Chains A and B, each alone.
Chain A
Amino acid sequence: MAEERVGPPERRLPLFRRQAIEGAPGTIKLAELPFAAKFVLRLDPAAGEAAFRQAAGLDLPAAPLMSVVNGERAVLWLGPDEFLVVAPEAEAGELAEALAAGLADTHHQFTEVSNYYTAILVEGPKARQALMKLTTLDLHPRAFKPGMVAGSNFGHAQAYLWLEHEEEGAARLRLYVRWSMAEYLWCALAEAGREWGVPEQEPVAGEPMLTESVTSRKA
């Protein structure tokens, strides 16, 4: 095995080989967001909402499929007792400690998933239309409003979609997708954007495969 010189620890996001891409001006833009702290919070809101607010500086979403933002922190509703908490990378330790202390007496689970998910930004007036090529969620502005979150399949990849913001018809959405599915989803999103000029993204492919049983040397 050829020796490689390896330097100090370096962090790589799943899409680190991909550059941000966009279609024609005023249509759609795709980018992988920088690393951020992410946690899955499992908590019965009735039991721990106040403690959570105190510790995290955030309310839990008041209704299903909604989110709460405070500065750079946000909490996204994923289920009746399941939330995604997002914070800047530097605040991860502090947030985890505060939560552990604040919810010490409440049955809960606060699990770091900063590395599990990466966030893909899908932005622009055509963002909703592009996403509707991959998901059966109703993304019409009447049905999917700013602040809303929904988990679903996008193509064949499971992801959480969050409509962070929308102004003058230009939506800014985030897709939280698993590390291993990010490459697939990125290429599928680019394909969905080709109608508006997004450049084609060739998926990683062509690995030599061997699926049959081999119990002896090559003949």
Chain B
Amino acid sequence: MAKQPYRVAKRGLIQRSRVIRFTFDGRSYPGHPGDTLASALLANGHHMLARSFKYHRPRGILAAGSEDPVGLVTIGAEATRRDPNTRAAEQELYEGLVANAQNCWPSLATDFGAVNDAFARFMPAGFYYKTFKGPPGTWTGIFEPIIRAAAGMGRAPEPGDPDRYEAVNRHCDVLVVGGGPAGLMAALAAGRSGARVIFCEETARLGGSALARDPEGLRFDGTPPAQWVADTEKELAAMEEVTVLPRTCAFGYYANNFVGLWEKVSDHLPEEKRLRHLPRQRLWRVRARQVVLATGALERPLVFHENDRPGIMLSGAVRTFLHRYGVMAGKRPAVFTNNDSGWVAAFDLARAGAEIAAIVDIRREMAPEHLAEAARLGIPIHASSTLVGTEGRRRIRQIEVRPLREDGTVGEGGSKIACDLLAVSGGWAPNVALFSQSRGKLRWDADIAAFKPGLSWQRERSAGAANGTFALPDVLAEGARAGVEAAAAAGFASGDVAVPEVEGVEPGQGRIEVMAELPSHLPAHRRRAFIDLQDDVTAKDLRLAVQEGYSAVEHAKRYTTTGMGTDQGKVVNLNAFAFLAAERCEEPVRIGTTTFRQPYKPVTIAALAGQHIGPHFAPRRMTPMHAWHRRHGAVFEPVGDWLRPRAYLRADEQDGEDFYAAVQREARTARTACGVLDASTLGKIDVKGPDAREFLGRVYTNAWSKLAPGMCRYGLMLGEDGMVMDDGVTACLADDHFHMTTTTGGAARVLAKLEDYLQTEWPELKVFLTSVTEEWAVASICGPKSPALLAELLDDFDPDPERFKFMAWRNATMSGIPVRVFRISFTGEISYEINIPATYGRWMWRTVLEKGGKYGITPYGTEAMHLLRAEKGFIIVGQDTDGTVTPHDLRMDWIVKKNGDFIGKRSLSRSDTARPDRRQLVGILTEDPELVLEEGAHILQRRNEPEPPVPMLGHVTSSYYSPNLGRSIALALVESGGRRIGERLFATKGGLPTVPVRVTETDFLTLKAKGQLPQPPREALHG
């Protein structure tokens, strides 16, 4: 068997028969299944495994669980699976585990960053903020680069995580958090009632504190602790409605009893043994009727000079390593305590064979039975004494003890004592993090000098040590009671739950004496008594914060960064609060605490993202014709959640076609021959009821009373603010029945708004709405050849534009399939929209393209569609409008009715919306017909921009090169635009000189037809 010098025979719940090997910082070590990385390193005598954040001081292991602020390592050999800032005390050991030290360079032992330590006095509290106040240039020139380089802990994994993660949702009657004695009893009691119970435990096995003490003599109804835990677990496992989740941390308590659990499904297994079909980690999003918090208590360290060396460990952690993992953290330990817990740890260690160097207790009076036991074991006792210093670089090797005077100062004399471990205990504090996250109010308990749960805000209760109840029989009883009450509150009655009889009850922590900072003979400026061991905040830093006025607890936290590390100050915060209280000469209860925030400990982003990543990130809505588009060279753009073809790039020409050329070709062909657009994504709403006309008249700005069945009308929809919100064409199907269309992106918003109005504003209107967007696949066919194509596509159909007039619609059939054909146009060209049941969409589209071949049909994308409508001067809501544009601003006064109300009407007469100098939509033609303005370009009065602020007349909203007009065109919102038609203005062009432009009407096709469009010289024509 490989040598593990600090492994103790017969103790611990590890599997001794098997030796597994792991590497830390490149060196191989032996350990056993059941170990954590921390316990295995300690078994090998390795204490130092990290460097602190600011001063890069050597750090060891302070605590044995997730509360450990300092024992942080990076797990994983592969860069994509690397897990930084993992607490060694939490990481379960497995064969081949690779761990590395972090926050050090070039190595853990020789770390250049440690020079920070020598300059500590130049980095006082608030150092970071003070750098902001330096002479000009020092922040960006000096401090920022240095601070940036030094910031961060560990290195984030590289992109390309090969593992899967998953989120699951669950509802339950009772959620029990924490698998210690109280949690076990609560889960058992709630489970027996038949309630749906979720029971989570952060570590690999249930048992909690029951497994962290000497099993010798401890009996639950006559059963040894490990056996009792196993029996209880077995009973729970047999209950159908109880879900036991080990390795699962409740990290966040949110509103309405919503609790986030983080399950590490396979992080404890070697890579090759991880089950492929299971995620690596799981996020449980639990909605619980009732919650029982059995999160235990955390032990505090003591604040004294040089209290941060590796080998200085909490007394409870020392016991946990001994009893749960069979590791004696030191062979000659010393104990420093302000309560009885330290004594119990000393006795445990002595019985396990350690030679106790000393028990140093700051108290004057101690329990006689402990004194007797210490005498029996031959342990040297230093009562009413304190530590004034320690020594040892990678591991503590000596402490200096001095007597404490009555007045709280340090006396003369004292001694230096050699040791290889220092177990410290500052007393136990309920772990109230989740309780506080739930918005529960804390209560100060002077007996334990700590906060405990007071008034609940949500439907939860705390039990056991989390509630400040420390004696095991009381803990069990309180846990059982909490389980029964929680189940009852959730509607499940359970009988009395027998609480096991406990033999071998340990004495508690007894009387605790708190000194915020232990006194020292050293002058204050030479003392380095650490309060936050991760972020390197000393008592001196906090004192300075108070002196500089940051004495409120939330201010001091931010000024000094106390409790702002990855550990969120689990074990150190209470010391910080006590210190602030002492500095301000107030009771701790008056100081309060900082806010406990989610998460309880760092949760991987991968677990939070779950399965919704990569191609599963979000729905990409596709029309029935999507696959065809892809096969025919489409480049897509997202429109809302939809993917729409923006243009179809031909591959058959030499070198293929670029996007610009494709758009020009499509737009030209659509206007001169025939083009087809997939318009399936437009929103469609079926509107029916006797009051449908009245309803349309209220939601659109124009009148609908006279629209006959078989006809269509364009409408603008405004928000209550009078601004254009959506537009579209609505067809009258029958006197009380309409087919409304909306923009692609606005469909959901419009339906929700209309339904909202019907339900809340106008319940008297008899109108029903149903979305039919995806019932129909839509081909919008335009161009001079389109009537001939329509005649061929449809059965016995006369598409002649003279007889089937613009803005009419008809039922028809296409190879026998019923379709609706709308004579509506978004291009100004003769145009037909065929709506066919969506399941035939693919077939229809292919048929249109096949039959359209001889007419030279081209499919065109959204870009050509935008270009074509701009040639006609039609607006696009969201491009030419931005939520600040009224119909009058669009110079569409004709669509606003004079009589009758509609949504937004009143806003149109507000002084601001009615003022005459608002920006209005106009056409813009550059004097150089080849020049295409940038969308967003500013419109100016004068050629030369004056000194800022430059008076802006407006900006370009749409800009294209029009192949059909042979020149560039643009639309713009320009101040008093309607009155400026014909004016010469100027447009900005990046950083270049401004260019002259002419203000025109927006319908460029009509301008051309009237001969009002200046024709460019022939050779300038594109294409």
Interface residues of A (CB under 8 A from B): 1, 3-6, 8-14, 35, 40, 42, 81, 107-109, 111-117, 129, 132-133, 135-138, 140, 142-143, 155-157, 178-181, 183-185, 187-188, 191-192, 194-197, 202-205, 207-211, 213-218
Q: What is the CA–CA distance of A160 and B8 in the complex, to the nearest angstrom?
A: 60
Q: Is B661's beta carbon under 8 Å from chain A?
A: yes
Q: Is the CB of A1 within 8 A of B857?
A: yes
Cβ of A135: which chain B residues have Cβ within 8 Å of it? 169
Cβ of B817: which chain A residues have Cβ within 8 Å of it? 9
Q: Is the CB of A187 within 8 A of B615?
A: yes
Closest B residue to A12 using CB positions: B842
Residues of B576-613 whose CB lies within 8 A of A: 611-612
Q: Tell me the smallest distance from the CB of A152 to a CB of chain B, in Å.
A: 11
Q: What is the CA–CA distance of A191 and B776 in the complex, to the nearest angstrom?
A: 30
Q: Tell me the smallest distance from the CB of A16 to a CB of chain B, in Å.
A: 9
Cβ of B857: which chain A residues have Cβ within 8 Å of it? 1
Closest A residue to B633 using CB positions: A208
Q: Is the CB of B850 within 8 A of A5?
A: yes
Q: What is the CA–CA distance of A210 and B768 in the complex, to the nearest angstrom?
A: 39
Closest B residue to A39 using CB positions: B770
Q: Is the CB of B620 within 8 A of A111?
A: no
Q: Is the CB of A214 within 8 A of B660?
A: yes
Q: Is B700's beta carbon under 8 Å from chain A?
A: no
- What string of 1s and 0s marks CB contacts (under 8 Å) between B268-307 and chain A? 0000000001110000010100000000000000000000
Q: What is the CA–CA distance of A35 and B847 in the complex, to the nearest angstrom?
A: 22
Q: What is the CA–CA distance of A24 and B898 in the complex, to the nearest angstrom?
A: 68
Partner of A133 from the list B611, B618, B853, B858 (CB cut-off 8 Å) is B611
Q: Is B350's beta carbon under 8 Å from chain A?
A: no
Cβ of A204: which chain B residues have Cβ within 8 Å of it? 620, 622, 626
Q: What is the CA–CA distance of A154 and B863 in the complex, to the nearest angstrom?
A: 33
Q: Is the CB of A217 within 8 A of B637?
A: no
Closest 5 CB pairs of A and B: A180-B621, A42-B768, A109-B768, A184-B619, A115-B838
Q: What is the CA–CA distance of A55 and B475 in the complex, to the nearest angstrom?
A: 66
Q: Is B27's beta carbon under 8 Å from chain A?
A: no
Q: Is the CB of A184 within 8 A of B859?
A: no
Report the tally of A-B residue pairs with Cβ distances under 8 A. Answer: 195
Cβ of A12: which chain B residues have Cβ within 8 Å of it? 624, 839-843
Q: Is B749's beta carbon under 8 Å from chain A?
A: no
Q: Is the CB of B277 within 8 A of A217?
A: no
Known: A183-B622, A216-B932. A111 touches B169 (CB 8 A): no
Cβ of A184: which chain B residues have Cβ within 8 Å of it? 616, 618-620
Cβ of A132: which chain B residues have Cβ within 8 Å of it? 168-170
Q: Is the CB of A156 within 8 A of B620?
A: no
Cβ of B634: which chain A residues have Cβ within 8 Å of it? 207-208
Q: Is the CB of B768 within 8 A of A188?
A: no
Q: Is B837's beta carbon under 8 Å from chain A?
A: yes
Cβ of A187: which chain B residues have Cβ within 8 Å of it? 615-616
Q: Tell me the smallest distance from the CB of A120 to a CB of chain B, in Å.
A: 14
Known: A142-B196, A215-B934. A114 touches B616 (CB 8 A): no
Q: Is the CB of B615 within 8 A of A202?
A: yes
Closest B residue to A17 using CB positions: B627
Cβ of A192: which chain B residues have Cβ within 8 Å of it? 166, 611
Which of A13, A116, A135 has most B Cβ within 10 Å? A116
Q: Is the CB of B850 within 8 A of A6?
A: yes
15 A-B pairs (CB sep. < 8 Å) = A3-B853, A12-B840, A12-B841, A12-B843, A111-B770, A113-B775, A133-B611, A156-B619, A178-B621, A183-B622, A184-B616, A185-B619, A215-B932, A218-B659, A218-B660
Cβ of B621: which chain A residues have Cβ within 8 Å of it? 178, 180-181
Q: Tell me the smallest distance from the CB of B686 to a CB of chain A, in Å.
A: 5
Decide if the interface of chain B is mainly helix, strand, loop or mixed: mixed
Q: Is the CB of A1 within 8 A of B849?
A: yes
Cβ of A195: which chain B residues have Cβ within 8 Å of it? 277-279
Q: Tell me the smallest distance from the CB of B758 to a CB of chain A, in Å.
A: 11
Q: What is the CA–CA distance of A140 and B637 in the complex, to the nearest angstrom?
A: 41
Q: Is the CB of B171 within 8 A of A140?
A: yes
Q: Is the CB of A133 within 8 A of B169?
A: yes
Which of B768, B837, B849 has most A Cβ within 10 Å? B768
- What string of 1s and 0s marks CB contacts (under 8 Å) between B637-659 and chain A? 11001110011000000000011
Q: Is the CB of A196 within 8 A of B277?
A: yes
Partner of B612 from the list A4, A129, A155, A180 (CB cut-off 8 Å) is A155
Partner of B959 from the list A138, A205, A215 (CB cut-off 8 Å) is A215
Q: Tell me the smallest distance from the CB of A118 to a CB of chain B, in Å.
A: 9
Decide if the interface of chain A is mainly helix, strand, loop or mixed: loop
Partner of B774 from the list A115, A140, A194 (CB cut-off 8 Å) is A115
Q: Is the CB of B287 within 8 A of A136?
A: yes
Partner of B624 from the list A14, A188, A217 (CB cut-off 8 Å) is A14
Q: What is the CA–CA distance of A183 and B934 in the complex, to the nearest angstrom?
A: 38
Q: Is the CB of A217 within 8 A of B622?
A: no
Q: Is the CB of B643 within 8 A of A207?
A: yes
Cβ of A129: which chain B residues have Cβ within 8 Å of it? 168
Q: Is the CB of A179 within 8 A of B774?
A: yes
Partner of B636 from the list A8, A14, A137, A208 (CB cut-off 8 Å) is A208
Cβ of B776: which chain A residues have Cβ within 8 Å of it? 115
> Chain B, interface size: which category?
35 or more
Cβ of A215: which chain B residues have Cβ within 8 Å of it? 660, 932, 934, 959-961
- What string of 1s and 0s marks CB contacts (under 8 Å) between B758-773 and chain A? 0000000010111111
Q: Is B405's beta carbon under 8 Å from chain A?
A: no
Known: A195-B277, A207-B630. A136 touches B285 (CB 8 A): yes
Q: Is the CB of A203 within 8 A of B774?
A: no
Known: A6-B843, A9-B840, A136-B287. A180 touches B619 (CB 8 A): yes
Partner of A156 from the list B168, B612, B853 (CB cut-off 8 Å) is B612
Cβ of B630: which chain A residues have Cβ within 8 Å of it? 207
Q: Is B632's beta carbon under 8 Å from chain A?
A: yes
Partner of B623 from the list A117, A155, A180, A211 (CB cut-off 8 Å) is A180
Q: Is the CB of A217 within 8 A of B773?
A: no
Q: What is the CA–CA distance of A210 and B636 in the complex, to the nearest angstrom?
A: 6
Cβ of B689: which chain A residues have Cβ within 8 Å of it? 107, 109
Q: What is the CA–CA distance of A107 and B816 in the complex, to the nearest angstrom?
A: 31
Residues of B771-815 whose CB lies within 8 A of A: 771-777, 814-815
Closest B residue to A133 using CB positions: B168
Q: What is the CA–CA distance of A188 and B768 in the complex, to the nearest angstrom?
A: 33
Closest A residue to B681 using CB positions: A180
Q: Is B915's beta carbon under 8 Å from chain A?
A: no
New A-B pairs, 10, CB < 8 Å, besides A8-B815, A40-B770, A214-B659:
A114-B839, A115-B839, A129-B168, A136-B169, A156-B619, A180-B622, A184-B616, A195-B277, A197-B277, A214-B663
Partner of A181 from the list B619, B768, B850 (CB cut-off 8 Å) is B619
Q: Is B514's beta carbon under 8 Å from chain A?
A: no
Q: Is the CB of B616 within 8 A of A207?
A: no
Closest B residue to A136 using CB positions: B169
Q: Is the CB of B632 within 8 A of A1?
A: yes
Cβ of A1: which chain B residues have Cβ within 8 Å of it? 632, 849, 853, 857-859
Q: Tell me the smallest distance from the CB of B693 to a CB of chain A, in Å.
A: 14
Q: Tell me the smallest distance from the CB of B522 to a CB of chain A, in Å.
A: 58
Cβ of A4: which chain B residues have Cβ within 8 Å of it? 846, 849-850
Q: What is the CA–CA distance of A129 and B166 in the complex, to the nearest angstrom?
A: 13
Residues of B658-691 whose CB lies within 8 A of A: 658-661, 663, 686, 688-690
Closest B residue to A138 using CB positions: B171
Q: Tell me the smallest distance from the CB of B331 to a CB of chain A, in Å.
A: 48
Closest A residue to B642 using CB positions: A180
Q: Is B635's beta carbon under 8 Å from chain A?
A: yes
Q: Tell me the smallest distance from the CB of B405 to a CB of chain A, in Å.
A: 62
Cβ of A202: which chain B residues have Cβ within 8 Å of it? 615
Q: Is B908's beta carbon under 8 Å from chain A?
A: no
Which of B196, B814, B837 has most A Cβ within 10 Å? B837
Q: Tell me the smallest distance from the CB of A88 to a CB of chain B, in Å.
A: 15
Q: Is B474's beta carbon under 8 Å from chain A?
A: no
Q: Is B267's beta carbon under 8 Å from chain A?
A: no
Q: Is the CB of A216 within 8 A of B612?
A: no
Q: What is the CA–CA distance of A32 and B622 in the complex, to the nearest angstrom?
A: 17
Q: What is the CA–CA distance of A10 and B859 in the complex, to the nearest angstrom?
A: 21
